[in-house]
Every structure is written in structure tokens, then in C-alpha cells.
Amino acid sequence: MDTLSVELGPRSYPIVIGAQLLARGDEIAARIPARDVLVVTNTTIAALYSPALQSALAGRRVVEVVLPDGEVHKTLANVARILDVLVANRFGRDACVVALGGGVVGDMAGFAAACYQRGIAFVQVPTTLLAQVDSSVGGKTGVNHAAGKNLIGAFHQPTAVIADTATLDTLPDRELRAGLAEVVKYGLICDHAFFEWLERESDALLARDPAALAHAIRRSCELKAAIVARDEREQGERAWLNFGHTFGHAIEAATHYSAWLHGEAVAAGMRIAADMSRACGWLRAADVQRIERLLSRLQLPLDVRAIPAADALELMRMDKKVAAGRIRLVLLERIGAARVTADYPDEALRATLAAHFG
Amino acid sequence: MDTLSVELGPRSYPIVIGAQLLARGDEIAARIPARDVLVVTNTTIAALYSPALQSALAGRRVVEVVLPDGEVHKTLANVARILDVLVANRFGRDACVVALGGGVVGDMAGFAAACYQRGIAFVQVPTTLLAQVDSSVGGKTGVNHAAGKNLIGAFHQPTAVIADTATLDTLPDRELRAGLAEVVKYGLICDHAFFEWLERESDALLARDPAALAHAIRRSCELKAAIVARDEREQGERAWLNFGHTFGHAIEAATHYSAWLHGEAVAAGMRIAADMSRACGWLRAADVQRIERLLSRLQLPLDVRAIPAADALELMRMDKKVAAGRIRLVLLERIGAARVTADYPDEALRATLAAHFG
């Protein structure tokens, strides 16, 4: 078991990573000090891991909200449903919300915790690779709006993240690969050596080699924790973590959050962002190909030709990274070094979109 | 014109108090630096002050959301409506929400600003006495739930509060009196001399004497700003500001946010809290009478016998001030000194509720 820390002064919290944390239960029990606990999960995960979580919380008052599974359900209406359950059970400010599931569950449970009585505690128990390496860490919570991804939400840090790597045993291959896209992201934006390690270990990761997965998760959390600690509210370098996401969010929104998994859209978005970096004269063509090669080896979908380029541009304008009417992009100076910029040739963006989208 | 400051480090902001600030427009223009502005107001206030605000913001892109007037409309559904307008107009993170109205408008506009893209700027332009002396300052935002007041919300500080005392000219007498209840609260919880001043000036205040009103507003804002600066997130003394509110929220909820104005319910709640302070052996009976006398002179309703005591207790249990299943109360040690406690005889609370409620 590894314990990392997200250093945010009074809002610091641990990330506990290990196998069988749900089955053992002791870490869960210790990290959730509340008497009243609201577990938010989804139909898929409830069947698999809710009994273990309930056992770990024996003796508490535990209420469960089971939401439908999928990004399309990440809505304000479902957060309102969580809030209604908190109210109906008369949970007080000393209650704790536990998110048991992937990024969708974590984002909604965290947002409900942020809004209930102006903020109560919440603990992330991520059960997907994507949630374990990315979304459960850092306090971004929220829901989608028909017009764009994560447009409504709050910064609200969890009080603990407990990542049980054994839950990945039940994760479908497609979701595992989607999670690996976010792992690749860390290498691309800030750790060239980690990118090279991923190139070497891609087969082991796809084969779910426990040691390889454990390293990928730990290293991703280390990198994310360090970035969040330096820039909690995304005034600066935290925006690097959005690499591939502005293009990716447009892919997700264009397909109504149903055809692409978030990680898949990020993979395709990172490839486009890499190509845009090349079009701006930053990244070498050989490096773009190297990135494409790794994403392809991880069996991530990269073909977005079914989406019209004009639609993609329109949706990108609605993304949160717009300032003074201009889309800010996270681009790569090289593999392992990202930069946020609104200072790029419009023609390069147009050409890049045209080259990839339909 | 007076300018106070709420000292919260990087989140510090000014409170500008003066007559004709909307008509003059220069302070408004200077304190709202955004290019894109969403004005949130209600049907009553829009007719009176929207044109002046629009003039002050000439040259900006201004979009207006006009909500129905009244506490009963302070709902998550109306916040969702504000968010929809922000999305539909593609407002970015650099946009600013302006709340033009009373506490209901300010709470909803502030909560929408807190949630939109995980937090954008907002400016309070309070047009009621209650909002000018209390709700516009301090960053508490949110909405009601059928089961309780302000159960859903966020701490989100405005970037400025601009209180135009000329707007009080159009304020109905009943709302003026409701605002005076919150003014009295400051005297009771932390400023004995101010309480005595209010006793002396009650007639002048009811007669809307400009100098008296200006002093009441300035002193209230000074006291609130100081408390908020010392305890932004209500870990301690900020809870004093809830004096009368736990009883008051029960009154509002029991009457479905329609029969009592918030300030009226607070007035009746303060009288009950004073009596409870006496029942606990803290406040002298003569001081309870003195408080009742001032509230009565201000023509505030104090009779809650139409509400069953059992209902009031049930609703108080749903209030946010419950910890470990016990209702925390703000009581008075004496006029000018409040204390938060969960350590009181249950029998005293039961008897106090029975004495006042039906």
C-alpha cells in the first residue's frame, strides 16, 4: 500500500493506493470518520463493490444513492437527486459523502457535497483507472450541460482518496484503455521519462500486469498531486492537465456524451493537440508520430472524421478555456513539456481541425 | 459615499455605500470590469432600477435574467435557469454576474456565479435594506429546499458590494422594517452601544431619516465585515450572525416561505432566542423585555402561535446548525454578547418553544 499526499495546507489529504482496500476495509473505516455516510454509486458498481463498502462502514448510518451508469447521466438533475436524499435523511454538516465509482460518480457526488449546506466532507473511492489516476484527485467536481462538458461545478477537495487497485479486475478492457489515455497525458505534459516507460510497458499495461498498473497509478497521482498543490484553482500550470481536453470535450459534446468514453475522447484530442503543436512549429513531426504510435498501441480510437470540423470549433468555443473570446489551448513544446497559449495562428487551428475532423 | 473593505486576503472586496450610485453610474462602471455581464434581478426591481444599471454598463455585452419576486422562488430550478442563460450566451470565465435586488436575488445570482465554470466573478447591487446590511456581504449564497432554508449553496465572495441607499426610497415599509430586524441583530450579538443607538433612533429609522439609515447601514456593514474577515467559513464567531435564525428559519419553512419575510421571521426568532437565553439563566428578564420593546417599536411581528411547537422543533432539526444530532443555538450572554452552544437543558428549549409557538 502506498500513501501519497496532496499538500493544500488545511485542505491537504491522503491518496491511499493498494490492492484489496475495499475487502480489507480498515483504511476505508479509518479515513471516513463520519457517523452519517451517504454512498453515491452507480448500478454497475453497486452490484460489485457496495457490499464490501457497507461492511467496512458497519455501525454507521449508511444511505446509498444508486445512479444510472454513464457520462450522459452526469447532470444537475442527478445532483439534485443526491441533495434530496441528503435532505430527506436529515444529514447534518458532519455527514460525509462517499463516491464509489468512476469519474462520473465522483464528479457528481463531489459537487453534491460541495453544495449541501455550503459544503460537507467527501471521500473518493475510485473504481476505474481513469478515476484513480485523474478525476478523483484535485477537487474538480461538477456536471455537464447540454452545451458543454463540466460547465457547472465547484472546486471542492475530498478529505481522502482511497484507490483499491483490485477493483480494476472488473473494469472492462475498453475502460482500462480509456484510463491509460490520461496516464499518457502525464508523460506528455510533464514527464518525458514516464512517457518512455509507457512506451516500453504498453503491452504489460494492456495485459493488466499488477506491477505495471500500480506504477502507472502511483506515478500519475504523484504528478497530479504536485501540480494541484502548486495551483489548486487553475490559475496557471494546472491547465496543463487539460491537454487534449478542449478537443476531447468537443468530441464528447458532439456525440452527446454517449459514443466516446471520456478517456477515449481525450486520446483523440491529445493526438489533435499534438498535431496542432506541430502546426505551430513547436513539436517535431516525428514526435507527433511517436505519440500517435503509443495511443494506437494502447488501442485508443483516434478517428474523429464523423464529426464535422465546424461543429468541433463551435463546441470548443463553449469550453471553459475561452478567455476574452479566444480559445486557450494546451500545446506541447516537446514530449514532457506543455504550455498554455491563446497566441497561435488561427489558420493553424483551422487547418488542424480540417485535417482531423470531417 | 463610504467605502468599507471586507479583508479576506486575495478575496478582499469593497463595500461602497452611498446615495444615487445607480443614477451616477461611475462606481458601478468602475467596480464591474467585465466585458460580458449577466444581470440577475426580479420583476419588481427590473422595472425600477434596470435602466439605470444598463446605462452604467453602456458599451458592455449585458444580458438580463428577470426572476419572479419572493423567497418562495429561491430554488435550484431558478439557479439552473440563470446557468442556462450563461451557457446560452456563451459567457466565459471572464464574465461577471451582477445581482440587482434583495437577498433572494443576491443568493441565487451568487450561487449561479459560484457554480458556473466552477466559479466566476459577481457583484452585489443590493436594493433592500436587508440585503444592504446583511445578505450582500460575506459570500453566503444558495437556495432553499422544501425541507429547509439555504440547505443548498456555496461560499462565494462577491468582488464588490455597491449599496445605493437611494433605492430604499422605493422599498415598501414592511420590507424596510424587516431589514431593521437584521440591524438590531448586530447590536444584540456584538455592539451594546449600537443597540442603545437603535433604541434612541427607532422612530427616525422608521421615518427613513437619511442620516439615521446611512449610519445603520454603515455600522451594520462594518460589524459584519469584521466578523466575516475573522471567520469566513463560519468555524466560530460568524455563527453569531445566525442569532434568531434557527427559530426564524423554522418559522419561514413552516409557512412555506410565503407568509413571513425573512427579516420578520428573524425578528420573531430573536425574541424567542432571547427568551431561551433567559431560560438558560444567561439573560435577565428585563433585557428580554427591552429587546421585545425595540422589536415591537419597529413594528415587527412577533406572534408565532399559529405554528405548532412540534413542527417548529422538527424544522429546527433540519437547520444547518445541527451537529452530532444536536441543535446548536446562538444565545445571548447579555445585550451585545452572543455565544454558540449545544449545551443547554432540553427542557428549557421545550418550554421556550411551548411558550411562543402554538
**DSSP string of A189-219?**
HH-HHHHHHHHHHHHHHHTT-HHHHHHHHHH
Determine the distance in angstroms separating the CA of A43 from the nearest CA of chain B, rounded to an integer.
26
H-run or E-run covering A85 = helix A76-88
pLDDT band of residue B318 (cuts 50, 70, 90) is: confident
Burial-class residue B52 by CB neighbours within 10 Å (0-12, 13-18, 19+). buried
Partners of B154 on chain A (C-beta within 8 Å) are 114-115, 118-119, 154
Domain that holds residue B199: 173-356
- Give the end of a domain, one of A125, A153, A169: A169
Any chain B CB within 8 A of the CB of A269? no
Give the mean model confidence (pLDDT) for residues B115-139.
Answer: 97
> Is A154 in the B-facing interface, judged by CB distances under 8 Å?
yes
Count the Cβ atoms, other than its own, within 10 Å of residue B261.
26
Residue A341: CB atoms within 10 A of its CB come to: 15
Cβ-Cβ contacts under 8 Å, A151 against chain B? 83, 87, 116-117
Residues B144, B205: one domain? no
What's residue A33's pLDDT?
87
Quote the pLDDT of residue A146: 82
Q: How far apart are CA B48 and CA A329, in angstroms?
A: 43
Q: Of the candidates B277, B341, B353, which has an alpha carbon nearest to the alpha carbon of residue B312?
A: B353
* Same domain as A79, residue A45: yes
Closest-CA residue of A relative to B91 is A318
Cα gap B123→B142, rounded to integer Å: 15
A chain contacts of residue B92, beta-carbon cutoff 8 Å = 320, 322-325
C-alpha cell, A162: 482511497
Return the amino acid letter for A235.
Answer: Q
Are B107 and B202 contained in the same domain?
A: no
Nearest Cα to Cα of residue A258 among A21, A74, A4: A74
Q: Give the separation between CA B61 and CA A194, rounded to whole angstroms.
A: 46
Which residue numbers of A are catalytic? 118, 140, 182, 224, 234, 238, 242, 245, 249, 262
Which residues on chain B are in Cβ contact (under 8 Å) with A246?
A: none
CB spacing of A119 vs B154 below 8 angstroms: yes
Amino acid at B123: V
With an 8 Å Cβ cutoff, is A342 touching chain B? no
Same domain, A189 and A148: no
Residue-level pLDDT at A320: 73
Do A181 and A315 lie in one domain? The reply is yes
CA distance B355 to B358: 8
Mutation target vs B (from A118, A140, A143, A156; most B CBs, 10 A cutoff): A118
> In chain B, what percentage of residues exceed pLDDT 70?
99
Q: What is the CATH number of the domain that holds B304?
A: 1.20.1090.10
Angle between the N-to-C axes of helices B103-115 and B76-88, in degrees from 0 to 180, rounded to the nearest 10: 60
d(C-alpha A269, C-alpha B154), whole Å? 33
Of A92, A118, A325, the CB nearest to B323: A92
Q: Which amino acid is present at A132?
A: Q
Which secondary structure element, helix H or strand E, spans residue A337, and what is its range?
Answer: strand A337-341
Q: Is A90 on the interface with B (CB under 8 A)?
A: yes
Query: Which one-letter DSSP state was computed for residue B293?
Result: H
Q: CA-based Rg of chain B, rounded to a whole angstrom?
A: 20
Contact, A81 vs A115, CB < 8 A? Answer: no
Q: CA nearest A235 in B: which residue?
A: B93
Interchain CB contact of A9 with B (< 8 Å): no
Question: Which one of B170, B205, B232 terminates a domain?
Answer: B170
Taking a C-beta distance cutoff of 8 angstroms, is the pair B71, B144 a contact? yes
Question: Which cell goes with B54?
Answer: 444598463
- For residues A162 and A194, state if they share a domain: no
Q: What is the pLDDT of residue B319?
A: 76
Left if phi > 0, otherwise alpha if psi is -120 to 50, otherwise beta: which for B64? beta
Window from A147-151, B136-140, B318-322 with minimum mean pLDDT: B318-322
Please indicate whether, in this complex, the C-beta atoms of A322 and B76 are within 8 angstroms of each other: no
Q: How far apart are alpha carbons B283 and B137 in whole angstroms?
A: 29
List the single residue in A114, A145, A324 with the smallest CB-CB distance to B87.
Answer: A145
Q: Which residues of A touch B152 (CB under 8 A)?
A: 83, 115-117
Average pLDDT, stretch B313-334? Answer: 86
SS3 of residue B64 by DSSP: strand
Q: Do B248 and B107 fall within a single domain?
A: no
Nearest-angstrom CA–CA distance, A315 and A317: 5
Judge whether A313 is closer than 8 Å to chain B, CB to CB: no
Whether residue B246 sits in one domain with residue B223: yes
Q: Which residue carries 464523423 as its cell?
A: A306
Residues B148 and B280 in one domain: no
- Chunk chain A into consecutive blocks of 10 residues (it has 358) and report each block's average pLDDT, rounded to whole numbers: 96 97 97 96 97 97 97 96 95 95 98 97 98 97 90 97 97 98 98 98 97 97 98 94 96 92 97 98 97 98 97 87 82 97 95 97
Clarify whether residues B101 and B201 are in a common domain.
no
Lowest average pLDDT, out of A254-263, A347-356, B127-136, B277-286, goes to A254-263
Among the candidates B136, B170, B204, a domain finishes at: B170
Residue from the list A76, A83, A325 with its beta carbon closest to the beta carbon of B80: A76
Residue A62 sits in a domain whose CATH number is 3.40.50.1970
CA distance A117 to A114: 8
Place of cell 486575495: B10
CA B263/CA A3 separation, integer angstroms? 50
- The Cα of B195 is separated from the nearest Cα of chain A by a number of Å equal to 31
**Are the C-beta atoms of residues A6 and A15 closer than 8 Å to each other?**
yes
Per-residue model confidence as pLDDT tens digits over B67-112? 999 999 999 999 999 999 999 999 999 999 999 999 999 999 999 9
Q: Is there a contact between A324 and B35 if contact means CB atoms under 8 Å apart?
A: yes
Residues B77 and B150 in one domain: yes
- CA-nearest residue to B315 within chain A is A90
Are residues A348 and A210 both part of a single domain?
A: yes
Cα A160 from Cα A28, distance rounded (Å)? 9
pLDDT at B4 over 80: yes
Find the closest chain B residue to A144 by CA distance: B117
Selecting from B90, B155, B318 the residue whose C-beta is nearest the C-beta of A318 gives: B90
**What's the number of domains chain B is made of?**
2
Query: Residue length, chain B?
Result: 358
pLDDT attached to residue B149: 86
H or E element, residue A104: helix A103-115
Q: pLDDT per residue over B189-228, tens digit each?
A: 999 999 999 999 999 999 999 999 999 999 999 999 999 9
CB contact under 8 A, A155 and B118: yes
Q: How far is CA B260 from CA B205, B256, B265, B309, in A?
A: 21, 9, 6, 17
Sign of CA dihedral B344, B348, B353, B356: negative
- Global pTM reads 0.94
Q: Round to whole Å and give the CA distance between B205 and B213.
A: 6
Q: Are B136 and A173 in contact (CB under 8 A)?
A: no
